[in-house]
């Protein structure tokens, strides 16, 4: 069924693009087609809207990224890409509210850079998670080389060869050398059953996973420190064989946006599509 729905949506996309030359692909039309490709029903009140820019803008190239930071925007301009597809907000809050920034110099300079360069910034959050499998999960599975350890093809549960928490961290650091991980758990704990929980879904999801006897450890993005952190601290103190690694929000979802570029190239053939890493926002001391 998935294959059929994929073929139908690909056909619709191909038809909708037919007869256009590259220069006439507008941002709005490309975005519509990407949403169609996810095969998701319409999501009400989605945050996946154009944050800044004119949907009629003819697209010269596409950049996918985790956050459309100042650096990412500059790189996009250098690459002559004017449609930036970011997983997360542009202006520092989930709904990209900007009223409070009317006199804020950081906001004003960023907005001016976008306007001056006639960029279009679109958020691709709710719909990319609706792909089957969730493209953010699949991107992480690919990044970790764990596709083969995935029993149910959902790519958020993995049965890996038995290792310890310490050894798993060494492997994660090899893959994400710029990231620092926050860890709750005994470094000598043996584990093989891993659940992945991208981004910031809230502690209820983490705790549900940790309650599950088929989960040893959760790889998570982030959560308020008074929530899952304290739950796992208590669990460990009660000698339960449970642990959690917070990869950081960016690290947990950026591989998904890297994979997103690859996925887009599967049906956007006539425009350059590039992934640009925003990388972790912070360093640690």
Residues 55, 240, 262, 272: which binds its own copies (CB under 8 A)?
Answer: 240
DSSP H or E segment with residue 181: none
Residues 12, 23, 106, 175: which binds its own copies (CB under 8 A)?
Answer: 106
Based on the shown chain and the rule CB under 8 A, indicate whether residue 197 belongs to the binding site for its own copies.
no
Residues 9, 29, 40, 92: which binds its own copies (CB under 8 A)?
Answer: 92
Q: Quick one: how far is CA 274 from the chain centroid?
A: 15
Based on the shown chain and the rule CB under 8 A, indicate whether residue 82 belongs to the binding site for its own copies.
no
Based on the shown chain and the rule CB under 8 A, indicate whether residue 104 belongs to the binding site for its own copies.
yes
Residues 122, 246, 259, 263: which binds its own copies (CB under 8 A)?
Answer: 246
**Which C-beta is closer to its own copies: that of 27 or that of 223?**
223
Binding to its own copies by CB under 8 A, coded x per residue (else -) over 155-174, reads --------------x---x-
- DSSP of 93-114, one letter per residue? STT---GGGTT-HHHHHHHHHH
- Binding residues for its own copies, rule CB under 8 A, total 53
Based on the shown chain and the rule CB under 8 A, indicate whether residue 94 belongs to the binding site for its own copies.
yes
| Neighbouring C-beta atoms of residue 176, cutoff 10 Å | 21
d(CA 91, CA 65): 15
Residues 235, 260, 261, 268: which binds its own copies (CB under 8 A)?
Answer: 235
d(CA 180, CA 283): 8
* Shortest Å distance, C-beta 220 to its own copies: 11
- Cα–Cα distance list, 65 to 68, 77, 233 (Å): 7, 14, 33
Based on the shown chain and the rule CB under 8 A, indicate whether residue 116 belongs to the binding site for its own copies.
no
Binding to its own copies by CB under 8 A, coded x per residue (else -) over 15-54, reads ----------------------------------------
**Is beta strand 62-65 parallel, antiparallel or unpaired with respect to 273-275?**
parallel
**Contact region with its own copies (CB under 8 A), list: 12-20, 26-34, 199-207, 259-267:** 199-207
| Neighbouring C-beta atoms of residue 189, cutoff 10 Å | 18
**Which C-beta is closer to its own copies: that of 107 or that of 149?**
107
Q: Which strands form 50-52's sheet, in the order they lie side by side?
A: 50-52, 120-123, 83-86, 62-65, 273-275
Residue 11, strand partner residues? none
- DSSP of 30-84, one letter per residue? HHHHHHHHTTPPPPTT-S-SEEES-TTPBPS-EEEESS--HHHHHHHHHTT--EE
**Contact region with its own copies (CB under 8 A), list: 19-27, 69-77, 189-197, 259-267:** 69-77
Residues that bind its own copies (CB under 8 A): 67, 69-71, 88-89, 92-94, 100, 103-106, 109-110, 169, 173, 180-184, 200, 203-204, 207, 211, 222, 224-235, 237-238, 240, 246, 248-250, 281-285
């Amino acid at each position: 069924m998935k294959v059929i729905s994929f073929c139908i949506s690909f056909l619709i996309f191909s038809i909708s693009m037919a007869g256009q030359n590259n220069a006439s692909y507008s941002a709005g039309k490309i975005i519509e087609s990407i949403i169609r490709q996810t095969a998701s029903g319409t999501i009400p009140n989605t945050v996946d809207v154009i944050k800044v820019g004119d949907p009629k803008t003819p697209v010269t190239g596409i950049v996918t990224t985790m956050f459309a930071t100042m650096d990412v925007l500059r790189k996009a301009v250098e690459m002559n890409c004017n449609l930036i597809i970011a997983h997360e907000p542009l202006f520092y809050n989930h709904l990209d509210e900007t009223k409070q920034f009317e006199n804020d110099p950081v906001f004003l300079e960023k907005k001016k850079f976008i306007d001056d360069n006639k960029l279009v910034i679109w958020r691709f959050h709710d719909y990319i998670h609706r792909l089957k499998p969730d493209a953010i999960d699949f991107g992480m599975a690919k990044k970790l080389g764990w596709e083969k350890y995935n029993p149910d093809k959902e790519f958020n549960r993995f049965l890996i060869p038995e290792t310890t928490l310490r050894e798993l961290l060494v492997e994660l650091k090899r893959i994400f050398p710029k990231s620092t991980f926050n860890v709750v758990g005994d470094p000598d704990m043996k584990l093989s059953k891993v659940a992945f929980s991208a981004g910031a879904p809230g502690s209820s999801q983490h705790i549900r996973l940790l309650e599950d006897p088929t989960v040893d450890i959760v790889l998570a993005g982030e959560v308020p420190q008074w929530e899952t952190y304290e739950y796992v601290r208590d669990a460990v103190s009660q000698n339960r064989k449970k642990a959690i690694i917070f990869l950081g929000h960016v690290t947990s979802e950026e591989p998904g946006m890297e994979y997103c570029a690859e996925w887009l190239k599967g049906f956007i053939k006539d425009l350059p599509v590039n992934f640009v890493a925003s990388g972790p926002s912070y360093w640690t001391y």
